[in-house]
Structure 1
Amino acid sequence: MRREETKRMTITAVFVAVLLMQTFMSNIGYVRIIPTLPAVTTIPLTIAIYAVLMGPKAGFLFGLFWGITRLFVAYTQPGDMVSLMLFQNPAISLVPSILAGFFPGLIAKQFKKTKYDKYGYVLSGAVTSLTNTVMVILLTSLFFMHDPATLVHYLGNDAANSPLILILVTALGVNWLIEAIFTAIVVPVIVTPLNLVMKRA
């Protein structure tokens, strides 16, 4: 039991270090493609891999840690006005991040009981990015429902009469597509050998 706990603590420490590096080193965790819009993030890949390896409870806590770093960055070094406006809100920073850590762990846990565990890895990766983006869009729509003008301006849609949620889907949809494809492809490539290593450890 003690050996298992030590192994889990070691793995967690490594992933925490990776997440901190992605957060605070330029263009590693947050890759800015369009200067005025939120960056494409590779962090869901890290979250998905950790959650798949460690389970939903650990994924929940790791997602919470991501949310806290997201909130910290929004206050100390936001990369654009949209990120500042969105992620200085604790709910928008924390809730999507927590769920993005919880769901892949839950999916992988269910698929481990079947012979289709590899498909579970792919689905877990895609769901991590999807959960993060959908929850950010929904919470943003909720919090900016009554006064969307400033946010819409920074999203580059001054003349648009579309609902805020549609504008957000249009603005952030490309980011999600890139993140989801990338994460869905890479998660099984990394998790499969890591699982073998962990079983031998």
Structure 2
Amino acid sequence: MRRKETKNLAITAIFVAIFLLQTFIPNIGYIRILPTLPAITTVPLTVAVYSLIMGPIAGTFFGIFWGIARLVQAYTQPGDIVSLMLFQNFVIAVIPSVLAGLFPGLIGKLTVKKKNRFKEVSYTAAGAITSLTNTIFVILLTSLIFMGNPAQLMGHLGNFSHGTPLIKALIIALGMNGLVEAVFTAVVTPIIVAPLNKVLARLG
């Protein structure tokens, strides 16, 4: 038991270190293409891999950690005005991150006894779901929270015609980032998780 706890602690420490590098070193975790809009993030890949390996409970806590870090980053070093307005809100910063950490862990838990080919497909699905969960819930929660005063945010999302619904503008402005993130995470997650699980199984 002690050996397992030590191994889990070491894995968590490594992933936290990777996450901190992604969060605070420019162009590693957040790759900015358009200066006025949120960056494309590789953080969901780290979250998906960790949650698949460690399970839904650990993944949820990692998601909480991501959400709090995103909140802190929005106050200390926001990269753009949209990220500042969105992620200084606790609900928008934390809830999508928590769910993004939970879902891949649940998928991993449900497929742990399946055949290897099926597992690899599930890892791909988990990677995509991690990214899409983050994007979709950021869009939905933002549209709800800014519903009373959409003009406050609309002016920073791009040149939209008067009367464009906020949720439509959010989907257009943030959706492309979300799709790129989802494809990237879906492709890379099984490449990392499959061999990593074999190594961890040998370690016991």
TM-score above 0.5: yes
Distance in 2 between residues matched to 1:9 and 1:172, nearest whole Å: 35
Is 2:180 the counterpart of 1:178? Answer: yes
Cα deviation code 1:106-156 (max 9, x no counterpart) = 011112232211111000000000000000001000100010102100001
Match for residue 11 of structure 2? Answer: 11
Residue of structure 2 in register with 1:195 after alignment: 197
User: Are positions 1:112 and 2:112 aligned together?
Assistant: yes
> How many equivalent pairs are there?
201
Q: Structure 1: which 4+ aligned runs deviate by more than 3 Å?
A: none
5+ residue gaps, structure 2, are none
CA-CA distance at 1:100 after TM superposition: 0.3
Matches for 1:122-161 after TM superposition, within 5 Å = 122-161=124-163
For 1:162 and 1:26, locate their aligned partners in 2 and report how far apart those are by CA, in whole Å. 33
Partner of 2:75: 75
CA distance in 2, matches of 1:186, 1:49: 9
SS of 1:34's equivalent? coil
Q: Cα RMSD between the aligned structures? A: 0.8
**Unmatched 5+ residue regions in structure 1?**
none
Mapped partners of 1:114, 1:14: distance in 2: 27
Question: Is contact 2:160-2:169 (8 Å) kept?
Answer: no
Cα deviation for residue 159 of structure 1 reads: 2.8
The equivalent residue for 1:51 is: 51
**Which amino acid counterpart does residue 137 of structure 1 have in structure 2?**
I
Comparing 104-113 with 176-185, greater Cα deviation is found at 104-113
Given that 1:86 and 1:140 are in contact with CA atoms closer than 8 Å, whether structure 2 keeps it comes out as: yes
What's the offset of the Cα at 1:158? Answer: 4.8
CA contact (8 A) 1:36 1:154 kept: yes
What's the secondary structure of 2:169's corresponding residue? helix
Following the alignment from structure 1 to structure 2, what is the Cα–Cα distance between the partners of residues 125 and 33?
Answer: 22
TM-score by length of 1: 0.98
User: Does 148-157 or 131-140 show the bigger shift?
Assistant: 148-157
Residue 173 (structure 2) pairs with residue 164 (structure 1): no
> What one-letter code is carried by the residue in structure 1 that aligns with 2:147?
M
Cα distance in 1, alignment partners of residues 21 and 192 from structure 2? 18
- Once residues 2 and 63 of structure 1 are traced to their aligned partners in structure 2, the CA distance between those partners, rounded to angstroms, is 25
5 Å-filtered alignment, 1:85-96, equals: 85-96=85-96
Deviation of 1:157 after TM superposition, in Å, equals: 3.2
Alignment of 1:25 onto 2:25: yes
Counterpart-to-counterpart distance in 1, 2:176 and 2:21: 24
Tell me how far apart the structure 1 counterparts of residues 191 and 160 of structure 2 sit (CA, whole Å).
43
Provide the identity percentage.
Answer: 61
Question: Distance between the aligned counterparts of 2:94 and 2:181, measured in 1?
Answer: 19
1:157–1:167 Cα contact (<8 Å) kept: no
The letter for the 2-side match of 1:49 is V
SS where residue 138 of structure 1 aligns?
helix
Q: Counterparts of 1:88 and 1:124 in 2: how far apart (Å)?
A: 27
